[in-house]
Amino acid sequence: MTAAAPQPLITLRDAVRTFPTAAGTFTALDGVSLSIARGAFAVVIGQSGSGKSTLLSLLSGVDRPTRGDVVVGDTAVHALPERAITAWRGRNVGIVFQFFQLLPTLTAAENVMLPMDFCDRWPGAERRARAMVLLDRLGVADQADKLPATLSGGQQQRVAIARALANDPAVLLADEPTGNLDSKTAVQILDLFAALAREGQTVVMVTHDMAARNRATHTIALADGKVADDDHGRSHA
Amino acid sequence: MRNLRVLKVWRDVRLHGARTALVIVAIAIGIAGAGSVLDTWALLRRVTVEGFLGTNPPSATLRMDAVTAPVLAAVRAMPELRAAESRRTVMGTVTSDSTARTAMLFVSADIATHTIGRVAGDSGTWPPPDRAFVIEHSSANFANVHPGGTVSLRLGEGAPLMLPVTGMARDGTLPPGWMEHVVYGFVTPATIVALGGDSTPNELRIVVREHADDRDAIRRVAARVRVVAEGAGARVRDVVVPVPGRHEHQAQMDSLLYTQGAFGLLLLLLSGFLVVNLVTGMLAGQQREIGIMKTLGASPEQLTVMYLGLSLGLGLVACIVAIPLAAVIGRAYAQFSASMLNFEVGATPIPRWSFAVQLVAGALLPVLAALVPVRRGCAVSVSESLRDTGLGSAPATAAGRLFGASGLARPLLLSLRNAFRKRERMVLTLLTLATGGAVFLGALNLRASIRDSVSTLYEDELRYQLSVRFEQRHEGAALVALAMSEPGVEHAEAWSGARAAVVGDDSLPRSAFVVTALPADTRLVSFPASAGRWLAASDSEGMVVTPRLLEDEPALQLGARVQLLIAGKARTWRVVGIVGAGPSAGAYVTRGALARATGDSSAGAVALRLTPMSAAAQADFIQRIRARYEAANLLVSSTNLVQAGRGALEDHLLMVASFLGLMSQLMIIVGGLGLASTMSLGVLERTREIGVLRAIGARHGAILTMIQVEGLVVTLLGWALAIPLSLPMSVILERAFARIMFEVPVTLVPDAFGVVAWLGVVLVVSFVACLWPALRAMRITTAAALAYE
């Protein structure tokens, strides 16, 4: 049975997201309500089309619910105007993509420094040093001055995670971060997320990888846009 | 750390070097085209205004029988005048290269010290020594008279003198000799005496002390000068008060430059279209990165500044290339145009403000062009940016459905549909090409209209080949009878002429113009009346005027009754018609009417229609007819072959059409660049799609054909659209030309040769513009395309 949940950082209340299609309205999320605790390592699993990525988009403010509430910390994300949402996201959310999405013309360190630059979060003179600390922590400091195209998939994903952490966000959202990596590197990335969560970082990861459940503190299973299972059962190992 | 964003933009630019270069070239062409016109305009304004005013042009010129020392002294004593000077102007004949031409000689003992209408020595000796000839700059090439050579000069029927040409000088107050078909020259009074002429000054030039820019005030002063001169014993023939501070041909030059400037701006606008296309394409390629940057916290404003900054940078780089290029072209064109006005550009610097305007326009054009696509691109939601699959979607269009139902082969169908996928981009490319084509066809139409008009003028309207002017006036019938007795003359008419001036509301005469008097039933000219009618025998006070004179003297409207001062007598005349008679300003009356007005029925010239004969035979004929008249003691002052002026006039007029043709070529190049960029972007955006086509069996040839056909569809549409667009363009060009030069018939039917030539141009443009994108598409491998992000 689930343990008593700590104070939630993320709350969804009756969130619905529909898309108009040629065949009619498609409901990607259908009345989803859930909460994720601060410092949790939550994985969202489900079949293709179950609504996992849509859920992540709502949490990051990249997309808005058709109906319902999305609250992260004290912020009602669903109600933020577009202009404010960008600034909020830059400071409070780090996003890791399946295909890394590093900017190809910037070096690894420059990619990490870019969010700091946009959000003006750290003094200009300190940004490079902070980027190097993050890259070092992720084991790719020696790749700092290389362009993404010269890095392996695993190295690119580590740089992408460092970039997501650049502004010290409250939430780290990862969309299939291991989907494009070999199994050994995938395990390393999962270990990394688990470690981050243990240090107090809230991590929400969408994945097909059932093995991820073993490292997560919170598992949310989606099916046809609805929460099929919401297990807060594990504590940090 | 703003530099990181600059760094990203800079590296993106380097990554897409070819596309960036295309944008820079497009902006550079636009700025160079418009900038060269601006530089020309700025230089010409400076050179003509400063050059003209630098000569200290006369406020008024009074032509008299003789400006004696007492007359000059009396006038100089007038407090209203800052200066008064005299010189003699005499007509003669200059012969060089066996060709006799009308000469206007300026005679003064102290011409080098004159302060009014200062003449500057250009090369060789200045002022002219005795028994020597100094040619005026604007006549030198036309008459092929240059320092170091010799000319034969004679006055009337006096004995010709062979004179050395010892120098060349420039008189900025004169309309160019080549345009007026007059050889201007400077000689000393001693030379005139040696030629058997009178060296007494006959022209008094004055500069007023106050209100020097008020033509009416100058007229009033000139009228008082006339009274003073006549009081001192002079007989004043006419008074000319030009528009103060304005060269005689300045209005024409302004119209020409404004028209060209308008096309320069059009070129700039079309370059702007290309920049819009390129920036839109660039942003389309950056859409995913924009989405990612937004997830990293980039605000739309930050992204807008990044991409507008990029556009600004591209504009500034284009300026580095374009502004010096514009300066070179502008200076060359200004030099050419200035020579038309008889000015020298020399080392006169282009005004700095012209460079500043070009820099601001060059920097802002891409920013303005990019504003909408950047705002739109940066406003795309993050989810939309990240959702892009790389396989473009093609909205169903009427054209697409039409092609689908046409039964065309699939690959061709794909090309046709591709051409319509990015409609905004295609419309801008199409508009650029079609506008260039419309100007191209319009310029060809204008060229044809000019040629037609010149042909009409010289073949239909001027129905004589030779005019003979006499030193004195004679009885017209005698002049005609003698001409008709010479073999080779089909028809002869005696003409006379006078200088006339409209008497203004203030009872003062305005500037003088030439009135030609000919028989009412003349068979030697046939000018079409654009309003009213030609002269009738009963027109005892009727006159017809040319549109150019009407421009100078707006009082001479059709039906107007005006007071004209002719030979010192004021009389009322009525304008009965306005006739197109080429670019000259003048009026026509019947000989009878002029005789009644002046009390003199004699004639000063005969016009002769000759039987068809070769140029050599015409030269022989001229010798014979001169000898014939001189044997009868009728002294010939000059002979003028009508056709002699045709080539110069045609070249002069076609120069305007040539410039427009050059502008159209630049527009077509911009259109071609637009097509190349559109196709390159299409290939870039459809990389994955092309990979899919390759995966299902499309070979090199099929890909190449698909891209080339797609480009061909756009260019053929541009070709077709240019044809109807050329009609209003032709009207605009021909109306503008009418303002600058003279009325030409509007040609609304595009010239068949022009349409075919335009087709040839678009086929070449299409092939060249699509070559690079097609080769690039051919190099795309299936694996690379499907991995393309």
| pLDDT for residue B745 is more than 70 | no
User: Residue A141: beta bridge partners?
Assistant: none
What digits encode the pLDDT tens for the residues B630-644?
889 888 877 888 877
Residue with tokens 């992408």: A160
Q: Which residues of chain A make contact with B387, given a CB cutoff of 8 A?
A: none
| pLDDT for residue B60 is more than 90 | yes
CB contact under 8 Å between A163 and B296, yes or no, is: yes
Copy the structure tokens of residue B498.
């006078």
CB contact under 8 Å between A90 and B289, yes or no, is: no
Model confidence band, residue B325 (pLDDT cutoffs 50, 70, 90): very high
pLDDT at B355: 94
Residue of A nearest to B379 (CA): A82
| pLDDT for residue A2 is more than 50 | no
> What is the DSSP code (8-state) at residue B116?
T
CA distance B607 to B463: 9
Choose the most confident range, by mean pLDDT, from A136-140, B410-414, B647-651: A136-140
> Per-residue pLDDT averaged across A207-218, rounded?
84
Please report, for chain A, the start and end positions of each structural domain, with discontinuous segments joined by +.
Answer: 8-231
pLDDT higher for B169 or B689?
B169
CA distance B561 to B576: 10
d(CA A130, nearest CA chain B) in Å: 14
CB contact under 8 Å between B297 and A105, yes or no, is: no
CB contact under 8 Å between B297 and A101, yes or no, is: no
Beta carbons of B439 and B660 less than 8 angstroms apart = yes
Q: Is B77 left (phi over 0), alpha (psi -120 to 50) or beta?
A: alpha
What digits encode the pLDDT tens for the residues B697-716?
777 787 888 888 888 888 99
CB contact under 8 Å between A62 and B295, yes or no, is: yes
The count of CB pairs under 8 A between chains A and B is: 76
| pLDDT for residue B198 is more than 60 | yes
Residue with tokens 């020595």: B121
pLDDT higher for B66 or B263?
B66
Say if B294 is an interface residue toward chain A (CB within 8 Å).
Answer: yes
Positive/negative CA dihedral, B264, B268, B273, B274: positive
> Per-residue pLDDT averaged across B380-388, rounded?
71
pLDDT at A159: 94
d(CA A237, nearest CA chain B) in Å: 31
Considering CB atoms only, which of B1, B295, B300 is closest to A89? B295
Say if B8 is an interface residue toward chain A (CB within 8 Å).
Answer: yes
| pLDDT for residue A205 is more than 70 | yes
Residue with tokens 């989803």: A32
Look over chain A and give the mean of its residue pLDDT values, rounded to a whole number.
Answer: 87
Q: Which residues of chain A make contact with B295, given a CB cutoff of 8 A?
A: 60, 62, 89, 95
- Contact map slice: B 413-442 vs A, CB within 8 A: none
| Helical H segments across B286-341, by residue range | 287-295, 300-340
What digits encode the pLDDT tens for the residues A85-123?
888 888 899 998 888 888 888 899 999 999 998 888 889
Q: Which residues of A149-159 are buried (b: 16+ CB within 10 A; e: fewer)?
A: eebeebbbbbb
CA distance B718 to B435: 8
CA distance B521 to B537: 7
> Per-residue pLDDT averaged across B119-137, rounded?
92
pLDDT at B493: 94
Say if B784 is an interface residue toward chain A (CB within 8 Å).
Answer: no
Interface mutation target, options B6, B286, B296, chain A, most CBs of A under 10 Å: B296
Distances, alpha carbon A20 to alpha carbons A5, A25, A28, A66, B383, in Å = 36, 4, 11, 11, 15
- Angle at Cα B439 formed by Cα B434 and Cα B445, nearest 5°? 125
CA distance B490 to B141: 34
User: Residue B496: beta bridge partners?
Assistant: B517
Helix axes B615-631, B476-484, angle to 10 degrees: 130
What digits encode the pLDDT tens for the residues B518-563?
998 888 888 888 889 988 888 889 999 988 788 878 889 999 999 8
CB contact under 8 Å between A83 and B299, yes or no, is: yes
Beta carbons of A154 and A188 less than 8 angstroms apart = yes
Q: Which residues of chain A make contact with B298, given a CB cutoff of 8 A?
A: 86, 90, 118
CA distance B257 to B508: 34
Say if B396 is an interface residue toward chain A (CB within 8 Å).
Answer: no
Residues of A with CB under 8 A from a CB of B: 57, 60, 62-63, 83, 86-87, 89-91, 95, 97, 99, 101, 103-106, 110, 113-119, 124, 127, 163, 166-167
> Per-residue pLDDT averaged across B153-170, rounded?
88
Q: Which residues contact B545 (CB under 8 A, 6 or more apart)?
A: B553, B556, B575, B577, B578, B579, B586, B587, B588
Model confidence band, residue B789 (pLDDT cutoffs 50, 70, 90): very low
d(CA A174, nearest CA chain B) in Å: 12
Say if B15 is an interface residue toward chain A (CB within 8 Å).
Answer: yes
For residue B194, give the nearest of B134, B131, B108 by alpha carbon.
B131
| pLDDT for residue B408 is more than 60 | no
Q: Which residues contact B606 (CB under 8 A, 6 or more apart)?
A: B467, B468, B479, B480, B483, B492, B493, B494, B495
| pLDDT for residue B399 is more than 70 | no
For residue B377, give the nearest of B314, B274, B308 by alpha carbon.
B308
CB contact under 8 Å between A101 and B302, yes or no, is: no
> Per-residue pLDDT averaged across B269-289, rounded?
78
Considering CB atoms only, which of A105, A118, A163 is closest to B298? A118
What digits encode the pLDDT tens for the residues B82-118?
999 999 999 888 888 777 788 899 999 888 889 999 9
Interface mutation target, options B10, B295, B387, chain A, most CBs of A under 10 Å: B295
For residue B622, give the nearest of B649, B643, B647 by alpha carbon.
B643
| pLDDT for residue B238 is more than 90 | no
CB contact under 8 Å between B386 and A119, yes or no, is: no
> Per-residue pLDDT averaged across B249-266, rounded?
73
Say if B383 is an interface residue toward chain A (CB within 8 Å).
Answer: yes
CA distance A54 to A153: 25
Say if B487 is an interface residue toward chain A (CB within 8 Å).
Answer: no
| pLDDT for residue A8 is more than 90 | no
For residue B37, give the nearest of B358, B347, B270 by alpha carbon.
B358
Look over chain B and give the mean of its residue pLDDT values, rounded to a whole number.
Answer: 83
CB contact under 8 Å between A86 and B294, yes or no, is: yes
Say if B81 is an interface residue toward chain A (CB within 8 Å).
Answer: no
CA distance B527 to B582: 9
Q: Is A51 left (phi over 0), alpha (psi -120 to 50) or beta?
A: left
pLDDT at B695: 72
Q: Which residues of B673-694 are buried (b: 16+ CB within 10 A; e: fewer)?
A: bbbbbbbbbbbbbbbbbbbbbb
Interface mutation target, options A56, A58, A62, A127, chain B, most CBs of B under 10 Å: A62
CA distance B231 to B225: 10
Length of chain B: 789
Q: Which residues of chain A make contact with B294, given a CB cutoff of 8 A?
A: 86, 89
Length of chain A: 237
> What is the DSSP code (8-state) at residue B147?
T
What digits encode the pLDDT tens for the residues A56-79?
989 988 888 999 999 999 899 989
> Per-residue pLDDT averaged across B126-131, rounded?
93
Residue of A nearest to B288 (CA): A101
Model confidence band, residue B62 (pLDDT cutoffs 50, 70, 90): very high
CB contact under 8 Å between B297 and A110, yes or no, is: no
For residue B98, give the nearest of B622, B605, B627 by alpha carbon.
B622
CB contact under 8 Å between B296 and A115, yes or no, is: yes
Model confidence band, residue B680 (pLDDT cutoffs 50, 70, 90): confident
Residue of B nearest to A58 (CA): B383
Model confidence band, residue B1 (pLDDT cutoffs 50, 70, 90): very low
pLDDT at B648: 64
Say if B786 is an interface residue toward chain A (CB within 8 Å).
Answer: no
| pLDDT for residue A34 is more than 80 | yes
Beta carbons of A197 and A186 less than 8 angstroms apart = no
Say if B390 is an interface residue toward chain A (CB within 8 Å).
Answer: no
| pLDDT for residue B2 is more than 60 | no
CA distance B535 to B579: 10
Strands (E), chain A: 8-21, 24-37, 41-46, 67-72, 75-76, 93-96, 171-175, 202-206, 218-223, 226-231
d(CA A1, nearest CA chain B) in Å: 37
pLDDT over 90, % of chain B: 28
CA distance A60 to A64: 9
What digits encode the pLDDT tens for the residues B469-517?
887 889 999 999 999 999 999 999 999 988 888 887 767 777 778 899 9
CA distance B720 to B148: 57
Q: Which residues of B36-66 are buried (b: 16+ CB within 10 A; e: fewer)?
A: bbbbbbbbbbbbbeebbeebbbbbbbbbbee
Query: Domain spanning A8-231 has what CATH number?
Result: 3.40.50.300
Question: Greatest CA span in chain A, whole angstroms?
Answer: 54
| pLDDT for residue B224 is more than 90 | yes
CB contact under 8 Å between B1 and A106, yes or no, is: no
pLDDT over 70, % of chain B: 90
Say if B300 is an interface residue toward chain A (CB within 8 Å).
Answer: yes
Copy the structure tokens of residue B372.
């909408």
Copy the structure tokens of residue B702.
């099929």
Say if B409 is an interface residue toward chain A (CB within 8 Å).
Answer: no
| pLDDT for residue B780 is more than 80 | no
pLDDT higher for B382 or B138?
B138
CA distance B192 to A153: 99
Residue of A nearest to B300 (CA): A83
Beta carbons of A68 and A78 less than 8 angstroms apart = yes
CB contact under 8 Å between A106 and B2, yes or no, is: no
What digits encode the pLDDT tens for the residues A170-193?
899 998 888 877 888 888 888 888
d(CA B380, nearest CA chain A) in Å: 11
What digits encode the pLDDT tens for the residues B450-464?
788 777 777 778 888
- Angle at Cα B461 formed by Cα B457 and Cα B466, nearest 5°? 90
pLDDT at B152: 92
CA distance B673 to B30: 12
pLDDT at B389: 46
Q: Which residues of chain A make contact with B289, given a CB cutoff of 8 A?
A: 103
CB contact under 8 Å between A99 and B789, yes or no, is: yes
The continuous run of DSSP H or E covering B775 comes out as: helix B752-778
CB contact under 8 Å between A86 and B298, yes or no, is: yes
CA distance B277 to B425: 6
